[in-house]
């Protein structure tokens, strides 16, 4: 299926784009109006765009229903400050409650049962229950249109971060395994980050991977090795050579047993290399594959 976005109704555009561009982190934005009334609302059109200066952007859209603007945006135009609170799994139901369209001036801290904690340099309060809070100055608001569904980019400079000690490691860095983010996907779908679904992808910073194009055709066109496996193999920075000290019983069995049948041997070697790659053992997998050359 190919979609021409101009042909779709706003609701359909929203549906396809939100399912496809996911998961999105959630900015739980605390703002105030010029009379000091507090507002708290979640926005998943949100991300980090720069470290120097430290810039994050979120987007309160005009309502599709009647093109009206959200209280968060109205507040920011009056008082250009915001506290962005990171949403974790323990907060997700209350955060969703805070997204109800309460009337202007309703304090969603109270409605959703969160604790307001004074910030140090901006006037909107922080959400005490959030494990990471960012005090931000709004440096620009960029409207993207006047119709329903039009975004308003709220460009924020992060001035201070408050990080709960419980999610820090021994070097005072955020331990990714301890911050159980939730993120928004399409419709009512959310996902949760935790130890069971986190994984690491090795990425050499300075050295270049050799590239899939350099792999021999027998590996590149393997019916057994997957795209992920090829990505791992091609991420080494020098083409590996046979290591005579590599001593592996299973490899010995394969080379002895299948010595009269090279095609079968290749399949067995690829299957074994795949197993090793899935355990993150890239060098070992290369040794297994080189044994078939």
Ligand X SMILES: Cc1cc2nc3c(=O)[nH]c(=O)nc-3n(C[C@H](O)[C@H](O)[C@H](O)COP(=O)(O)O)c2cc1C
Residue of 30, 70, 130, 133 that binds ligand X (CB under 6 A): 70
3-state secondary structure of 235: coil
Identify the three-state secondary structure at position 204: coil
**Count of residues interacting with ligand X (CB under 6 A):** 17
Residues 165-224 close enough to bind ligand X by CB under 6 A? 184
Smallest separation, CB 126 to ligand X (Å): 17
Report the alpha-carbon distance of residue 251 to residue 290 in Å, rounded: 11
User: Applying CB under 6 A, which of residues 45, 114, 272, 286 lies at the interface with ligand X?
Assistant: 45
Q: Choose between 12 and 101: whose C-beta lies nearer to ligand X.
A: 101
Comparing CB distances to ligand X, the nearer of 26 and 288 is 26
149: left (phi over 0), alpha (psi -120 to 50) or beta: left
Structure tokens at 112: 């959703």
Q: Which of 32, 38, 41, 251 binds ligand X (CB under 6 A)?
A: 41
Asked if residue 114 binds ligand X (CB under 6 A), the reply is: no
Exactly one of 25, 32, 71, 109 binds ligand X (CB under 6 A); which one? 71
| Cα 102 off chain centre by | 29
Backbone CA torsion sign across 166, 172, 177, 181: positive
Report the residue number, 17 or 234, with the smaller CB distance to ligand X.
Answer: 17
Q: How many residues does the chain have?
A: 293
Under rule CB under 6 A, residue 26 binds ligand X:
yes
Q: Rounded distance, CA 113 to CA 83, Å?
A: 17
- Tokens in use for 170? 């021994």
Among 14, 18, 37, 99, binds ligand X (CB under 6 A): 99
- Binds ligand X by CB under 6 A, chosen from 61, 158, 179, 215: 61
Tell me how far apart the alpha carbons of residues 280 and 251 are, in angstroms, rounded to a whole number: 17
Which residues of this chain interact with ligand X, rule CB under 6 A?
A: 26, 39, 41-45, 59-61, 70-72, 96, 99, 101, 184
């Amino acid at each position: 299926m190919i979609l021409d976005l101009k042909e779709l109704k706003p609701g359909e555009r929203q549906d396809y784009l939100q399912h496809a561009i996911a998961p999105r982190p959630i900015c739980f934005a605390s703002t105030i109006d010029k009379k000091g009334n507090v507002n708290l609302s979640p926005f998943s059109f949100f991300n980090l765009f720069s470290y120097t200066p430290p810039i994050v952007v979120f987007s309160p859209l005009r309502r599709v229903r009647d093109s009206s603007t959200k209280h968060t945006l109205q507040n920011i135009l009056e008082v250009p400050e915001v506290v962005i609170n990171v949403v974790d799994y323990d907060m997700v139901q209350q955060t969703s409650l805070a997204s109800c369209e309460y009337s202007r001036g309703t304090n969603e801290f109270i409605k959703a049962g969160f604790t307001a904690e004074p910030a140090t340099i901006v006037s909107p309060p922080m959400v005490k229950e959030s494990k990471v809070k960012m005090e931000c100055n709004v440096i620009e608001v960029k409207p993207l249109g006047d119709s329903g569904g039009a975004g308003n980019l709220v460009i924020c400079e992060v001035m201070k971060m408050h990080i709960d000690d419980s999610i820090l490691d021994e070097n005072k860095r955020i331990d990714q395994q301890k911050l159980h983010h939730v993120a928004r996907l399409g419709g009512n779908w959310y996902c949760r980050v935790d130890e069971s679904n986190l994984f690491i992808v090795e990425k050499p910073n300075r050295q270049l991977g050799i590239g899939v194009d350099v792999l021999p055709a027998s590996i590149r066109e393997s019916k057994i090795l997957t795209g992920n496996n090829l990505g791992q193999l091609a991420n080494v920075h020098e083409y590996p050579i046979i290591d005579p000290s590599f001593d592996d019983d299973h490899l010995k069995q394969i080379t002895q047993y299948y010595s009269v049948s090279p095609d079968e041997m290749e399949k067995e070697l690829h299957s074994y290399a795949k197993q090793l790659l899935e355990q993150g053992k890239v060098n070992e997998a290369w040794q297994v594959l080189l044994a078939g050359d």
